[in-house]
Amino acid sequence: MADNARAKRLADLIREVVAQKLQRGIKDPRLGSHVTITDTRVTGDLREATVFYTVYGDDEERAAAAAGLESAKGILRSEVGKAAGVKFTPTLAFVMDALPDTARNIEDLLDKARQSDAKVREASAGAAYAGDADPYRKPGEDDEDAGDAGADETDDTAK
């Protein structure tokens, strides 16, 4: 079994080779400049590689890009084999990366939180405190109260 460093180097090489080949070597109009390779992962035995990609566009363009990647899988695998120089060229599996959708969902949630905070700020703009504005004791006030109480006790005992 290969070590993790070797698998990481091979994954990086696969990502670079596939991205360059998609940009310059494959003439499929479905792939164009819409496809971006985001990550690559290789199994520990270096037999299978998963290539994550994103597509700029709507669902129709995403489906077309997926079909284009599946049709170009053989060419891309042979290019990876030439560049890698390993005994067995890993099989390639293309998976749509969910990162942009997740980021969009997080942005939507943050927008909702900002709107909620703005509503709370508007509601509390003219509000007053339920108790004192500063509910904490200050060191000087405690000493004065304790000093007065102590003076009364000493006067009672002296009488």
Q: Tell whether the model's pLDDT for residue 51 goes beyond 90.
A: yes
How far is residue 26's CA from residue 69's CA, in Å, rounded to a whole number?
A: 10
User: Residue 21 carries which side chain, given as an amino acid letter?
Assistant: K
Least confident range of 43-52, 93-102, 122-131: 122-131
Q: Buried (b) or exposed (e) across 21-57, using 16+ Cβ within 10 A?
A: bbeeebebebbbebbebeebbbeeebeebbbbbbbee
Q: Tell whether the model's pLDDT for residue 54 goes beyond 70.
A: yes
pTM exceeds 0.85 for this model: no
Smallest Cα–Cα separation from 74: which of 89, 61, 53? 89
Q: What percentage of the chain has pLDDT greater than the value 90?
A: 23
